[in-house]
């Protein structure tokens, strides 16, 4: 059965300047979680009657039981709103404390540092890319979208605990290592493709890192690296005019040939054929 936006675990809305003004219409929701991340400008909204605001490089997370409504924004607004359904978040092992806090407080404002704001922005960009193509699973599989959603929840939950002054010991070593790996992966996947690099960054062996990540996420480190590289490759192939050689350089492959071999192994198609089949 073909994946559609309607049966996906989340929605993604991107706003940028006067061409993508967010709608001020009231939108209904039933126990969904809203993740609002603003790159520039200011956005104000109402969630179940309570006002919230979000400015540049802030992440606001709110539990929406009935409705939400954007009421004001700057004309230079640039940001994302991701709506995630309740069941998806409750299925994530690390989200229990996060959910309890949201239920009791309604909304949380998270203030990441500069590097972590970059990580959040990259996660949001990936979510937006994947969401645009959910109706065609040959472009991006639903697994890519759900993996990025999980990473967003991991990041938000982890930042909230650290911001609140809670000890990292609230998480198991496996959970912390997995979050740390994905934080590094989002920052470096275009330049670094080896398991050894990420293990070295985290001061563990390659075998231990892969075993832990697989236990927490169901995928090995290499599978995670490959999935995000192929997903980014698909986006560049259908969303840009860059040549195959230029894309391979952007993704730091040793040659266009090595890039094409990996892409064909993972998708069953060469990059050129993929672009002809699904490009604009």
Q: What integer best gives the mean pLDDT of the chain? A: 81
Give me the domains of the chain, ranges plus CATH numbers: 10-171 (2.60.120.280)
- For residue 15, CA distances in Å to 19, 37, 121, 151 come to 8, 10, 13, 21
pLDDT surpassing 70 at residue 42: yes
What pLDDT, on a 0 to 100 scale, did the predictor assign at position 279? Answer: 67
Triad 154, 157, 158: Cα angle to 5°: 80
pLDDT surpassing 90 at residue 201: yes
pLDDT surpassing 50 at residue 8: yes
pLDDT surpassing 80 at residue 2: no
Which DSSP string do the residues of 193-233 spell out, in sequence order?
--HHHHHHHHTS-HHHHHHHHHHHHSS-HHHHHHHHHHHHH
- Terminal CA-CA length for the chain: 24
What pLDDT, on a 0 to 100 scale, did the predictor assign at position 203? Answer: 95
Q: Which of 2-11, 30-39, 227-236, 262-271 has the weakest average pLDDT?
A: 2-11
What pLDDT, on a 0 to 100 scale, did the predictor assign at position 1? Answer: 31
Which two tokens mark 65? Answer: 């039981």
- For residue 206, CA distances in Å to 154, 189, 203, 215 come to 22, 16, 9, 14
Of 143 and 242, more confident: 242
Q: Render pLDDT for 91-129 as a digit per residue (tens, 0 to 9).
A: 765 556 666 666 666 788 888 877 778 888 888 888 887
What pLDDT, on a 0 to 100 scale, did the predictor assign at position 94? Answer: 55
What pLDDT, on a 0 to 100 scale, did the predictor assign at position 169? Answer: 47
pLDDT band at 254 (very low <50, low <70, confident <90, very high): very high
Q: Which of 76-80, 85-89, 115-119, 159-163 shows the highest mean pLDDT?
A: 76-80
Q: Which of 167-176, 190-199, 233-242, 255-264 has the weakest average pLDDT?
A: 167-176
Q: What is the mean pLDDT of residues 229-238?
A: 82
What pLDDT, on a 0 to 100 scale, did the predictor assign at position 21? Answer: 57
Q: Which of 48-57, 74-83, 85-94 has the weakest average pLDDT?
A: 85-94
pTM above 0.85, yes or no: no
pLDDT surpassing 90 at residue 246: yes
pLDDT band at 3 (very low <50, low <70, confident <90, very high): very low
pLDDT surpassing 60 at residue 4: no
Q: Render pLDDT for 146-180 as a digit per residue (tens, 0 to 9).
A: 777 887 887 787 777 666 655 444 567 887 788 78
Q: Render pLDDT for 45-73 as a digit per residue (tens, 0 to 9).
A: 999 888 999 999 899 998 888 899 988 88
Residue 29 DSSP class: -
Q: Are 181 and 202 in contact (CB under 8 A)?
A: yes
> How far is 121 from 127, CA to CA, in rounded Å?
10
């Amino acid at each position: 059965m073909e994946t559609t936006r309607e049966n996906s675990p989340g929605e993604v809305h991107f706003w940028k300047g006067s061409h993508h003004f967010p709608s001020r219409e009231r939108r209904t929701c039933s126990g969904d979680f809203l993740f609002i991340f603003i790159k520039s400008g200011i956005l104000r909204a109402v969630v179940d009657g309570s006002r919230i605001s979000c400015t540049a490089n802030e992440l606001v997370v709110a539990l929406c039981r009935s409705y939400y409504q954007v009421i004001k924004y700057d004309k230079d607004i640039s940001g994302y709103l991701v709506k995630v359904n309740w069941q998806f978040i409750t299925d994530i092992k690390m989200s229990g404390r996060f959910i309890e806090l949201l239920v009791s407080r309604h909304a949380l404002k998270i203030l990441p540092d500069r590097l972590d704001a970059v990580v959040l922005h990259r996660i949001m960009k990936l979510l937006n890319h994947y969401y645009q193509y959910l109706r065609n699973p040959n472009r991006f599989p639903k697994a890519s979208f759900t993996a990025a959603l999980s990473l967003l929840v991991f990041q938000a939950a982890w930042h909230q605990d650290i911001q609140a002054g809670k000890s990292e010991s609230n998480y198991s070593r496996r959970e912390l290592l997995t979050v740390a790996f994905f934080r590094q992966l989002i920052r470096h996947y275009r330049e670094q493709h080896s398991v050894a690099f990420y293990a070295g960054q985290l001061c563990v062996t390659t075998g231990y890192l892969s075993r832990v990540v697989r236990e927490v996420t169901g995928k090995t480190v290499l599978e995670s690296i490959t999935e995000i590289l192929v997903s980014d490759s698909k986006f560049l192939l259908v969303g840009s005019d860059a040549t195959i050689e230029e894309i391979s350089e952007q993704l730091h492959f040793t040659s266009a040939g090595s890039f094409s071999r990996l892409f064909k192994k993972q998708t069953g198609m060469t990059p050129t054929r993929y672009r002809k089949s699904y490009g604009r």
